[in-house]
Amino acid sequence: EKGNAEEGIEARIDIKVNNLQDAEIIKSLYRASQAGVKIRLNVRGICCLQPGIKKISKNIKVTSIVDRYLEHSRILSFHNGGKNKVFISSADLMERSFDRRVESMVEIKDSNSRKRILEILEGSFRDNSHSYKLESDGTYVLRKSKKGEKRFRAQSYFHGQSVKRAGKIALVKEASFAPHKPKKKMDEAI
């Protein structure tokens, strides 16, 4: 993507992972941003990259969704001069994943699968309900829908799609904590 940006060709990277901590990956993303590549990252947990820094990472935007489900999808999409390449991976972008584990990454070549995975990726970036934007100072700010913009909650949307696909009517009830109350007092039990 960096080479495309340097040649004036549209260049874009979209990534959804749990964690981004690998120094070499971060440096590569900074170099790509400096070359003009537009980069969107959806990082659920640890993110050691600082977005929005002039002359370093001004072309990088980072969001994080904190919602009902603990997601584990890892999706990487490269614009590739209009011939989009999409990958799924078992690895987070962390040193331990590259240096001390056996992980896999596969390119998605089936057009229907690629389309669905890109819908999930795009939905993660559209979320304006439970999504937080990472600021350059390391703080997270809740994203709010702009005036006239419809509220979009990615996890609810994809949950609803799954229920429809399964052909079931789901009565989804938010999980609640109900502490166990013993029938006998501790003194009586002994």
Q: Is 118 exposed, middle or buried (0-12, 13-18, 19+ CB in 10 A)?
A: middle
Model confidence at 73, pLDDT cuts 50, 70, 90, reads: confident
Pairing of strands 38-43, 60-65: parallel
The pLDDT tens digits for 22-38 are 999 999 999 999 999 99
Tokens of 121: 């990726």
pLDDT at 170: 47
User: Alpha carbon of 93 to those of 20, 55, 73, 98: distances in Å?
Assistant: 5, 23, 12, 8
* Homologous superfamily (CATH) for 2-189: Endonuclease Chain A (3.30.870.10)
The yes-or-no verdict on residue 175 having pLDDT over 70 is no
Residue 169 has pLDDT above 70, yes or no: no
Q: What integer is the mean pLDDT of 139-161?
A: 90
Beta strands 38-43 and 12-17 are parallel
CA distance 16 to 47: 12
The arithmetic mean of pLDDT across residues 73-102, rounded, is 86
